Amino acid sequence: METIESYKLTHLEELEAESIHIIREVAAEFENPVMMYSIGKDSSVMVKLAQKAFAPGKIPFPLLHVDSNWKFQEMIKFRDTFCAENKIDLIVYKNEEGVKRGVGPFTHGSKVHTDIMKTQALLQALDKYHFDAAFGGARRDEEKSRAKERVFSFRDRFHQWDPKNQRPELWNLYNTEVHKGESIRVFPISNWTELDVWQYIRKEKIPIVPLYFAKEREIVDMDGQFILVDDERMPAEIAKRKEMRTVRFRTLGCYPLTGAVESTAATIEEIIEEMMVETKSERTTRVIDFDQDGSMEQKKREGYF
Amino acid sequence: MGIENLQTSQPSNLTTAKIEDFLAQDEKKDLLRLLTAGSVDDGKSTLIGRLLHDSKRLYDDQLESLKRDSKRVGNAGEEIDYALLLDGLKAEREQGITIDVAYRYFATSKRKFIIADTPGHEQYTRNMVTGASTAHLAIVLIDARKGVITQTKRHSFLISLLGIKHVIIAVNKMDLVDYDQAIFDNICQTYMEFTTRLNIPDMRFIPLSALKGDNIVDAGPNMPWYHGPSIMHLLETIPVSADRNFVDFRFPIQYVSRPDLDFRGYAGRIASGILRKGEEVVALPTGKTTRVATIESMGKQVDYAFPPASVMVTLEDEIDISRGDMLVRKNNQPHVGRHFEAMLVWMDETPMDLNQQFIIKHTTQKVKARLDLVRYQIDVNTTHRSESAVLKLNQIGRVVLTASRPLLFDSYRKNRQTGSFILIDPITNNTSAVGMIVDRIDAEKLPSRISSRSGKELGRTLISREEREKQIGQTAKTYWITGLHASGKNELAYRLEHTLFDQGKTVVVLDGNELRTTLNQELGFNKADRDENLRRVAEIAKLLNNQGLIVIAVFISPDKATREQVREIIGAQRFKEIFVDTPLEVCKSRDKKGLYQKADDGLLDHFPGVDFEYESGTADLVVADIETIEISDLI
């Protein structure tokens, strides 16, 4: 029976409707948009929403993966298979200058590596392709400074964000105006929580990188973080401490900078269950956020997503 | 089984069956967006921190970092400072105030919530308006010790202006007034008296102590005299989905999808009403009719869809539709117009400039627009109206606007989606203002502003008008001949032209009929277009006068306010308005084109003298009878 009560969306449906609206708005209003693709679960949800937004057509803009050269091997494998199977137009960008100079977290530390291979690489890619809009999979509930960022977040010519000077954002009327060289970062899943993301992955059967699921893996304990021995670039004196543990990853990034958590959660249901009783929020396993208080805000001002 | 149970349980206590129950239940929850209004002093951040805390969504490490922060800048002594959880940005944290809109998320076993947290300070009206624009419900915090203060009134006015239907008035810090019922009752009374002038259909009053936890989740022992629900209970149960407009079907086309030649889909978000497969729809502005062939929503083919779903529809007939167009029902259509009124909130540091052009973004349309005038400014603290030429940051006023192309709109009161818009400054690209369309006065009766108020002399030449006048031996002047259709204006104009010509003057006649079919051929006969017609004529006359030429302009120009602006554009000292005051009956008998007959038959709208009044009273000279007038008397 159709009643006024049946005209009601669930929270996931409402979030989905909002995200699809945002994604279509970008496709309609910008000349050269791109979707940042980190291969993580949030990116996977964002790509799924983009597919839905334009079905039966294909996504009318490319995906961009900024490859820091230190991603987990399984991520790269997943990326290439997923994009090929889904006929997705993928751009992979690496800071070749950084690669040539051998920049990496073991030799240069997390700060320098992240700056050169992630932040600088991203800025180089945006400049090279002249994108006027770039989607990011950030959520407002992840981190304090993100709670205040707009869905359509303006960046000046130098890709910088000014938290004090953000455009007001009302209703679902997004200001998409930019001058040449300026751009907008767009966050279509701003209003999703971590639980929403997992629920949606479960409901829509969205494929994700197997690293999210618990498995016996070769890891070393580095300053209290369980780091996967992913390739031979890990210095031998560290790699020799390797041990087998049943772990999974709550976030994915550069393997030397992403800690695993001990877990037996091998299904999405088990992950959600673990999350509900878990006492640490997801970014604690990312080394870069610990640099200093307010460090994410600092990075965002400089152009990091 | 609720989320609370889950979160307090240990991992080993959970079975897979339980988590699946939880997920099945969680999937069905709806979403409530709420706004919290009040200042740090009212304990607003403490209340939000409490809601988050008590819904057990605070992760331990956030709590740890909180303890670290509290030692450095915390304001709450040894106790946990919940407010620090909310003040996100570094610079602001040191100041101890939140200065922007921050969004927070929490869930209970019944609902998911998004809180828009906005500050209470006067200079940040724009932030509160931002948070309110998407909220279903607002919590207005009142400090029990202070009662209803100016800030409370300001918040309530903005909530009413933005059309939030449900308001919880949370009288906080009851612990500091000994949980005194009389104080609570008194505040409720004062608040209700104040809000009789506002439009808030659902108000609930709750006494609480956010710090101690009274009436947050449970009643607690301190206020046995209060028998109502706790704030959490209210938030979980207030029905909000029925607040949407399910009656007036409006579907603004957001994106046209043409992946191949066989498929043409129209994507968008349903603004209001129900979209049904097989039903007849009208595409505006073309007015073409077709039927809905398919609807895809959430990845599935469906028979009907409702707001706020994002859908992709296909239509039975191939008709030309693009972004900005709207699908509606034949017997329920929005207004189509360029000229309208709105309540405007100025959001820009730079004050309003009436001479500037803006981009208006409304539904999925983006067109140029200008501000005609500010009817009045409204004081957010007292709701008193006052005259004001322009609006500045955080000021609110009722304004008249004209868009360069017709918009498809409803009043904001009736339809939040088709009644709202933003104004973008095309130079800075800032969102300068946001507006809510008011639809009480017929667009025909709205004033428009066609004269420039900049006072700037642009394109200054080295030859002055005086020098040109001296060379050709005449004084530049504009004779503006006005009067009803077929009153004999043209006859008079050409006699005047001839007389001046014979005197050796250089003279140009600007004839209404001629300009309407040439320079101004795209303009219609609605108020906005008629005014635009005269604005262009006035600017041409001014240009010609500046060249030393004499102009005779022949236009019905029935609107007194518009003629006054024409005079202003051209310059009063060079302007002579001549009103040909031929009686209507005589005009009708002289009407060779039969326009009066058509207007009388209802075939022509807005015809001066028939369904539209000619407003006299501004003329420098009135010609009662064109047969007897001496042309020399006109000069």
Mark yes or no for CB contact A9/B309 under 8 Å: yes
Name which of A53, A147, A281 is nearest B59 (Cβ-Cβ).
Answer: A281
B409/B546 same-domain check:
no
Classify residue B415: in a domain, yes or no: yes
The strands making up B137-143's β-sheet, listed across from edge to edge, are B102-107, B111-117, B30-37, B137-143, B166-172, B202-207
- What pLDDT is stored for residue A288 in this prediction? 47
A240/A129 same-domain check:
no
Write down the H helix ranges in chain A.
11-29, 41-54, 73-85, 96-100, 105-113, 121-129, 194-204, 236-239, 268-277, 295-302
What distance in Å separates the CA atoms of residue B398 and residue B446, rounded to the nearest whole number? 12
- How many domains does the structure of chain B reveal? 4
Match 């610079």 to its residue by tokens. Answer: B91
C-beta atoms surrounding B540 within 10 Å: 18
The answer on pLDDT for A116 being more than 70 is yes
Q: Confidence band (pLDDT; 50, 70, 90) for A277?
A: low
Chain B residues whose beta carbon lies within 8 Å of the beta carbon of residue A57 = 257-260, 263, 265
| B410, B245 Cβ separation under 8 angstroms | no
Classify residue B457: in a domain, yes or no: no
Task: Read off the CATH number of the domain in which B432 is found.
Answer: 2.40.30.10
> Cα B380 to the chain's mean position, in Å?
17
Chain B residues whose beta carbon lies within 8 Å of the beta carbon of residue A171 = 133-134, 416-417, 420
Task: Read off the CATH number of the domain in which A112 is found.
Answer: 3.40.50.620
Rounded to a whole number, what is the distance in Å from the CA of A21 to chain B's nearest CA?
A: 6
A126/A220 same-domain check:
no
A170/A58 same-domain check:
yes
Strand partners for A116: none
Chain A residues whose beta carbon lies within 8 Å of the beta carbon of residue B60 = 279-280
Q: State which residues form the domain around B353.
A: 335-445
B260/B220 same-domain check:
no
What distance in Å separates the CA atoms of residue B224 and residue B228, rounded to the nearest whole number? 10
Element counts in chain A: helices (H) and strands (E): 10, 10
Classify residue A122: in a domain, yes or no: yes
C-beta atoms surrounding B522 within 10 Å: 7
B153/B32 same-domain check:
yes
What tokens does B412 get?
A: 């904001």
What is the dihedral sign for C-alpha B92, B93, B94, B97?
Answer: positive
What tokens does B339 get?
A: 């000229």
DSSP string, B256-284: EEEEETTEEEEEEE--BS-EETT-EEEEE
| B245, B418 Cβ separation under 8 angstroms | no
B254/B202 same-domain check:
no
Mark yes or no for CB contact A54/B257 under 8 Å: yes
What distance in Å separates the CA atoms of residue A84 and residue A82, rounded to the nearest whole number? 6
Mark yes or no for CB contact A24/B298 under 8 Å: no
Q: What value does the mean pLDDT take over residues A212-236? A: 94
Classify residue B508: in a domain, yes or no: yes
Mark yes or no for CB contact B134/A168 under 8 Å: no
A129/A239 same-domain check:
no
What tokens does A292 get?
A: 């200093």
Mark yes or no for CB contact A274/B258 under 8 Å: no
Classify residue B28: in a domain, yes or no: yes
Nearest Cα to A139, choosing from A46, A277, A12? A46
Strands A261-262 and A243-248: antiparallel
Q: What is the pTM for the complete model shown?
A: 0.84
B362/B324 same-domain check:
no
Classify A117 as helix, strand or coil: helix
B407/B272 same-domain check:
no
- What pLDDT is stored for residue B121 in this prediction? 62
Mark yes or no for CB contact B310/A140 under 8 Å: no
Chain B residues whose beta carbon lies within 8 Å of the beta carbon of residue A280 = 59-61
Classify residue A92: in a domain, yes or no: yes
What is the dihedral sign for C-alpha A153, A158, A164, A168?
Answer: negative
Domain end residue (candidates: B242, B260, B294): B242
A191/A239 same-domain check:
no
Classify residue B451: in a domain, yes or no: no
Which of B72, B431, B434, B437 to probe by mutation at the A interface, max A CB count within 10 Å?
A: B431
- What pLDDT is stored for residue B12 in this prediction? 37
A68/A150 same-domain check:
yes
Total residue count of chain A as it appears in this document: 305
Task: Read off the CATH number of the domain in which B234 is found.
Answer: 3.40.50.300
A236/A102 same-domain check:
no
Strand partners for A34: A134
The answer on pLDDT for A169 being more than 80 is yes
Classify residue B455: in a domain, yes or no: no
Classify B131 as helix, strand or coil: helix
B222/B167 same-domain check:
yes
| A15, B31 Cβ separation under 8 angstroms | yes
Nearest Cα to B313, choosing from B256, B246, B387? B256
The answer on pLDDT for A280 being more than 60 is no
| A228, A217 Cβ separation under 8 angstroms | yes
B19/B153 same-domain check:
yes
A27/A169 same-domain check:
yes
Classify residue A44: in a domain, yes or no: yes
**Residue B626 burial by Cβ neighbours in a 10 Å radius (0-12, 13-18, 19+):** middle
**SS3 annotation, B551-569:** EEEECCCCCHHHHHHHHHH
C-beta atoms surrounding B37 within 10 Å: 29
B471/B356 same-domain check:
no
C-beta atoms surrounding A73 within 10 Å: 12
Classify residue A216: in a domain, yes or no: yes
C-beta atoms surrounding B123 within 10 Å: 10
What tokens does A112 get?
A: 């320098």
What distance in Å separates the CA atoms of residue A23 and residue A33, rounded to the nearest whole number? 10
B320/B344 same-domain check:
no
Which of B9, B20, B27 to probe by mutation at the A interface, max A CB count within 10 Å?
A: B27
Chain A residues whose beta carbon lies within 8 Å of the beta carbon of residue B431 = 167-170, 175
The answer on pLDDT for A44 being more than 50 is yes
| A80, A207 Cβ separation under 8 angstroms | no
- How many domains does the structure of chain A reveal? 2
Domain end residue (candidates: B202, B223, B242): B242
| A24, A122 Cβ separation under 8 angstroms | no
CB pairs under 8 A between A and B: 215
| Minimum Cα–Cα distance from A202: chain B residue | B23
What distance in Å separates the CA atoms of residue B26 and residue A111, rounded to the nearest whole number? 39
B204/B107 same-domain check:
yes
Classify residue A163: in a domain, yes or no: yes
Rounded to a whole number, what is the distance in Å from the CA of A232 to chain B's nearest CA?
A: 33
Q: How far is CA A26 from CA B111, B189, B255, B365, in A?
A: 30, 48, 10, 14
What tokens does B613 get?
A: 């009044």
Q: Is the N-terminal amide bond of B308 cis, ω within 30° of 0? A: yes
A48/A105 same-domain check:
yes
| Minimum Cα–Cα distance from B57: chain A residue | A276
Mark yes or no for CB contact A177/B254 under 8 Å: no
Which of A14, A20, A180, A286 to probe by mutation at the B interface, max B CB count within 10 Å?
A: A20
Q: Is the N-terminal amide bond of B221 cis, ω within 30° of 0? A: no
User: H or E stretch including B585?
Assistant: helix B584-590
Chain B residues whose beta carbon lies within 8 Å of the beta carbon of residue A204 = 299
What tokens does A165 get?
A: 């000077």
Name which of A28, A175, A277 is nearest B424 (Cβ-Cβ).
Answer: A175
B378/B267 same-domain check:
no
| B167, B204 Cβ separation under 8 angstroms | yes
- What pLDDT is stored for residue A284 in this prediction? 53
Q: How far is CA A27 from CA A186, B309, B358, in A?
A: 11, 18, 23
A146/A284 same-domain check:
no
Mean pLDDT of all residues belonging to chain A = 89
C-beta atoms surrounding B335 within 10 Å: 16
Instruction: List per-block mean pLDDT (blocks of 10 residues) for chain B, which spans 635 residues.
Output: 35 55 83 85 80 61 45 45 52 50 83 83 75 94 92 91 95 95 96 91 94 88 94 92 91 95 94 96 96 93 95 94 96 94 94 93 96 93 89 94 95 96 96 93 79 61 87 94 94 94 94 90 86 92 93 94 92 94 92 89 84 89 89 87
Classify residue A3: in a domain, yes or no: no
Classify residue A17: in a domain, yes or no: yes
Q: State which residues form the domain around A46.
A: 9-196+295-302
Domain end residue (candidates: B300, B328, B356): B328
A156/A34 same-domain check:
yes
The predicted complex's ipTM stands at 0.90
Contacts of B219 (CB under 8 A, 6+ apart): B226, B230
A162/A279 same-domain check:
no
Classify residue A2: in a domain, yes or no: no
What distance in Å separates the CA atoms of residue B362 and residue B542, rounded to the nearest whole number? 35
